Amino acid sequence: MGASTTDPAPGEPLRQRLIYAVSAAVCLVVAALILGPRPEGVAGTLDVSSLPWVNATINTITAGVLLAGFVAILAGRVALHRALMTTALGLSSLFLLSYVTYHWFSAGPVRYEGSLRGVYLFLLATHVVLAAAILPLALTTWTRGWFGAIQSHRRLAPLTLATWLYVTVTGVVIVVMAHR
What is the CATH number for 167? 1.20.120.80
Answer yes or no: is 2 within a domain.
no
Answer yes or no: is 6 within a domain.
no
Answer yes or no: is 4 within a domain.
no
How many domains would you assign to the chain? Answer: 1
**What is the domain range of residue 104?**
12-179
Answer yes or no: is 121 within a domain.
yes
Residue 142 has pLDDT above 60, yes or no: yes
Distant-in-sequence contacts of 20-28, Cβ < 8 A, 24+ apart: 20/136, 22/135, 22/139, 23/132, 23/135, 23/136, 23/139, 26/96, 26/135, 27/132, 27/135
Percent of the residues in the chain that have a pLDDT greater than 90, as a whole number: 68
Identify the CA nearest to 43 among candidates 106, 99, 111.
106
Residue 36 has pLDDT above 50, yes or no: yes
Answer yes or no: is 156 within a domain.
yes
Whole-number pLDDT of residue 9: 60
Q: Is 118 exposed, middle or buried (0-12, 13-18, 19+ CB in 10 A)?
A: exposed
Residue 6 has pLDDT above 60, yes or no: no
Whole-number pLDDT of residue 88: 98
Tens digit of each residue's pLDDT (9 = 90 or more) over 62-114: 999 999 999 999 999 999 999 999 999 999 999 999 998 998 888 766 778 88
